[in-house]
């Protein structure tokens, strides 16, 4: 299967990866959560080519993850804001941050620390069961595959 066909694969992970599955796209999303809004902010933070950045932002807009909002008329300039669909990626970004801090730590300490604003405490993402509230561990989970319709 070619990368451009992954969206057609019957798997929710594959569907998500077809939109946010490359490193530059996830880094753009990370920067949006860190407050970046304008093209020059992303460009300075990421150091990627303007062409690559334009393509990633256009794809995120096309997929409904960000919306472009004009902030200047002449010349026309836009800023990028996360939509509800984009904000729903927060657990993914926070979990990747925690995984990186644990398994690939920076010798000088975490470059980003998450703080829960209402209580002021440092926050670490944790997956919990919506039914009982207990932490979810991979060995305590079972996946049920959808039965494919018979021809």
151: confidence class by pLDDT, cuts 50, 70, 90: low
Q: From CA 135, how far away is CA 16, in angstroms rounded?
A: 24
Residue 112: phi, psi to the nearest 5?
-135, 130
Does this model's pTM top 0.85? My answer is: yes
CB 7 within 8 A of CB 39: no
Averaged pLDDT of the chain: 92
Residue 72: its H or E element: strand 66-72
Q: 63-84, pLDDT tens digit by residue?
A: 999 999 999 988 989 999 999 9
150 pLDDT exceeds 80?
no
pLDDT at 8: 79
- Look up residue 104 and give its DSSP letter: S
**Mean pLDDT highest for which of 69-73, 104-108, 142-146?**
104-108
Could you tell me the two tokens for 92? Answer: 């993914």
- Lookup result for tokens 């993402």: 125
Percentage of the chain exceeding pLDDT 90 = 79
């Amino acid at each position: 299967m070619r990368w451009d066909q992954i969206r057609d694969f019957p798997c929710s992970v594959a569907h998500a990866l077809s939109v946010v599955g490359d490193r530059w796209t996830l880094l753009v999303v990370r920067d949006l959560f860190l407050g970046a809004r304008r093209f020059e902010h992303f460009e300075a933070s990421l150091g990627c080519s303007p062409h690559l950045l334009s393509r990633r932002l256009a794809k995120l807009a096309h997929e409904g993850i960000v919306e472009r909002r004009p902030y200047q008329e002449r010349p026309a300039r836009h800023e990028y804001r996360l939509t509800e669909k984009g904000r729903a990626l927060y657990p993914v970004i926070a979990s990747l941050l925690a995984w990186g801090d644990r398994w690939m730590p920076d010798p000088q300490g975490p470059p980003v620390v998450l703080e829960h604003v209402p209580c002021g405490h440092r926050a670490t993402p944790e997956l919990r069961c919506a039914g009982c509230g207990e932490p979810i561990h991979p060995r305590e989970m079972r996946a049920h595959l959808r039965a494919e319709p018979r021809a």
